Amino acid sequence: MDINKPDINAQTQSVNTAQSIPAQQPQFQQNTKFCKHCGQSIPSAAVICTHCGCQVEDMHSGAAANQPIIINNNNNNNNNMVGVGMVGGNPKNKWVSFFLCLFLGVVGAHKFYEGKIGSGLLYLFTGGLFAIGVFVDLFTILNKPNPYYV
């Protein structure tokens, strides 16, 4: 007697799931609108009512899209490099000068590298100002940007 009860429940459940009809989607309303003059349903894309002929959409949006985009491109490139050119003479590699000073500073190699022939000869004959000038130049070169300009 009790055997049939589960079957009945299963049938009712299957019926319930089958009866759950998805909600109707009013798709016809998505593509239509109502004329604000005559009240008739017209296509949403219509600019002029198909029933009364009155204009229902502003033409501004379409007209604005068709206008050419005028960019006032007065970008005067005044980035002249005069200032940088005035500062520098010859660009010198910081590390080339540093290692020349470190190993050959006592003969003024870094001074010759910088084109300073006079002080280079002075370093050459005085042993890099008695090694004091070399020592000072090492830290001076370290504090310079790379490249630096002589």
Binding mask 73-112 for Zn ion (x = CB under 5 A): ----------------------------------------
Q: By CB neighbour count within 10 A (0-12 exposed, 13-18 middle, 19+ buried), where does 141 fall?
A: buried
Instruction: Give the span between the Cα atoms of 101 and 131, in whole angstroms.
Output: 10
Q: Given the structure tokens 């002589």, which residue do they identify?
A: 150
User: Which listed range, 43-51, 88-96, 116-124, 136-144, lies at the site for Zn ion (CB under 5 A)?
Assistant: 43-51
CB of 52 to Zn ion, least distance (A): 3
Comparing CB distances to Zn ion, the nearer of 10 and 37 is 37
User: Which listed range, 48-56, 76-84, 108-116, 138-146, lies at the site for Zn ion (CB under 5 A)?
Assistant: 48-56
Nearest-CA neighbor of 148 among 82, 90, 76, 107? 90
Q: Provide DSSP, 61-105.
A: HHHHHHS--------------HHHHHH-SSEE-HHHHHHHHHHHG
Report if residue 38 touches Zn ion, rule: CB under 5 A. yes
Report if residue 52 touches Zn ion, rule: CB under 5 A. yes
- Binding residue for Zn ion (CB under 5 A) from 29, 37, 44, 115? 37
- The residues of the shown chain that bind Zn ion, judged by CB under 5 A, are 35, 37-38, 49, 51-52
